């Protein structure tokens, strides 16, 4: 497994040097380097020279006089350079996630207070922030209200447990979430945050029973990475897992790259 992970990052390193990584891959690779990988850092030391070397291998080209004028005019029209990235606008999807997450966390807070008191402060902060977002939401459709009612029914059931996903080594920074699961009804609600992916990738949900992964389907996409999925029949798993797959989900029936795992009852 370590050898495969090392090879994966070496491929990302060469892809980074040659400029062929997508945004997600580049982010993961740079996080890996910043976490302290001397091998990749050593490769990166030559990146600039390699890129400029390849550029200098092409014949030089004299630009037209008009090009400079066009560039200067376009820059003047663009105004001063941006200093910070703008915050993404809130969407209804994020609001729905906030609503569901508040419900989950509202009950989860009680469960954690009973089972894991040391997490109380963090979850209280989450709850306060999400409650504030919930107060800012717009009116919801009847379907969304019905979904909320089902989720409320689930979270009020004393048999339900709330389990936090543990990020795995290949998980992107910030990816996380929780699963609320009722073994009596076999119903589950999954809420993820920072679950953004490029167009050629999808997250897929799995249940792990007797050591065997069974797909529960590809997770919906959300522009802000706030994903909520309601599973009518999640079986009787020992754990839930989230994997990163090529677009459309796993073709082989087994997870490609597991990024999150939540043990049930653990």
Partner 1 sequence: MQSGDTSGLEELYDRYTSLMLGVSRRILRSDDDAEEAVQEAWIYAWKRSGRFDAQRSSVAGWLVMIARSRALDRYRSLTSRRRVEDQAPPPEPSHGDDPAHELHGDQLRQHVARALDSLDANHRRVIETAFFDGLSHSEIATRFETPLGTVKYWIRQGLKRLGDQLPQEEWR
Within 8 A by CB and 6+ apart from 227, the residues are: 97, 177, 190, 191, 192, 193, 195, 203, 219, 220, 221
**Which span (11-19, 110-118, 140-148, 220-228) binds partner 1, by CB under 8 A?**
11-19
The span from the CA of 203 to the CA of 178, in Å, is 15
Residue 204 φ/ψ, nearest 5 degrees: -125, 140
Binding status of residue 64 toward partner 1 by CB under 8 A: yes
Q: What is the DSSP letter of 249?
A: -
**Which span (9-17, 98-106, 118-126, 250-258) binds partner 1, by CB under 8 A?**
9-17
Using CB under 8 A, pick the residue from 23, 31, 75, 209 that binds partner 1.
75
164 burial (CB, 10 Å; 0-12 / 13-18 / 19+) is middle
Binding status of residue 247 toward partner 1 by CB under 8 A: no
Using CB under 8 A, pick the residue from 35, 74, 128, 143 that binds partner 1.
74
- Using a CB cutoff of 8 Å and minimum separation of 24, what contacts does 2-5 make? 5/169, 5/170
Using CB under 8 A, pick the residue from 23, 39, 70, 265 that binds partner 1.
70
**Which span (82-90, 180-188, 215-223, 243-251) binds partner 1, by CB under 8 A?**
82-90
Binding status of residue 218 toward partner 1 by CB under 8 A: no
- Using a CB cutoff of 8 Å and minimum separation of 24, what contacts does 24-30 make? 24/172, 24/196, 24/197, 24/198, 24/201, 27/172, 27/173, 28/170, 28/172
Could you tell me how many residues of this chain bind partner 1 (CB under 8 A)? Answer: 45
Using CB under 8 A, pick the residue from 1, 35, 45, 184 that binds partner 1.
45
Which residue, 217 or 248, has its beta carbon nearer to partner 1?
Answer: 248
Using CB under 8 A, pick the residue from 6, 18, 23, 91 that binds partner 1.
18
Using CB under 8 A, pick the residue from 23, 54, 88, 246 that binds partner 1.
54
Within 8 A by CB and 6+ apart from 142, the residues are: none
Which residue, 18 or 145, has its beta carbon nearer to partner 1?
Answer: 18
Note the residues at the interface with partner 1 (CB under 8 A).
7, 10-11, 14-15, 17-20, 43-64, 67-68, 70-72, 74-76, 78, 80-84
């Amino acid at each position: 497994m370590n050898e495969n992970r090392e090879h994966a990052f070496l491929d990302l390193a060469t892809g980074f040097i040659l400029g062929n990584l997508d945004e997600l891959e580049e982010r993961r690779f740079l996080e890996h380097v910043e976490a302290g990988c001397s091998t990749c850092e050593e490769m990166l030391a030559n990146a600039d020279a390699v890129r400029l070397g390849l550029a200098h291998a092409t014949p030089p080209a004299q630009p037209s006089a008009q090009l400079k004028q066009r560039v200067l005019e376009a820059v003047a029209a663009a105004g001063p350079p941006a200093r910070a990235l703008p915050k993404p606008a809130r969407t209804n999807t994020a609001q729905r996630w906030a609503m569901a997450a508040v419900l989950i966390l509202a009950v989860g807070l009680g469960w954690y207070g009973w089972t894991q008191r040391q997490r109380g402060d963090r979850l209280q902060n989450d709850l306060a922030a999400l409650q504030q977002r919930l107060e800012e939401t717009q009116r919801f459709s009847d379907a969304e209200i019905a979904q909320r009612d089902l989720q409320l029914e689930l979270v009020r059931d004393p048999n339900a447990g709330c389990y936090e996903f543990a990020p795995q080594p290949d998980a992107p920074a910030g990816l996380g979430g929780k699963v609320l699961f009722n073994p009596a009804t076999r119903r589950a609600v999954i809420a993820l945050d920072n679950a953004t992916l490029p167009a050629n990738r999808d997250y897929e949900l799995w249940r792990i029973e007797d050591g065997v992964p069974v797909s529960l389907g590809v997770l919906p996409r959300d522009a802000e990475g706030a994903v909520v999925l309601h599973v009518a029949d999640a079986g009787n798993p020992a754990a839930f897992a989230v994997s990163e797959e090529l677009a459309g989900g796993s073709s082989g029936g087994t997870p490609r790259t597991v990024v999150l795992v939540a043990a049930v009852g653990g």
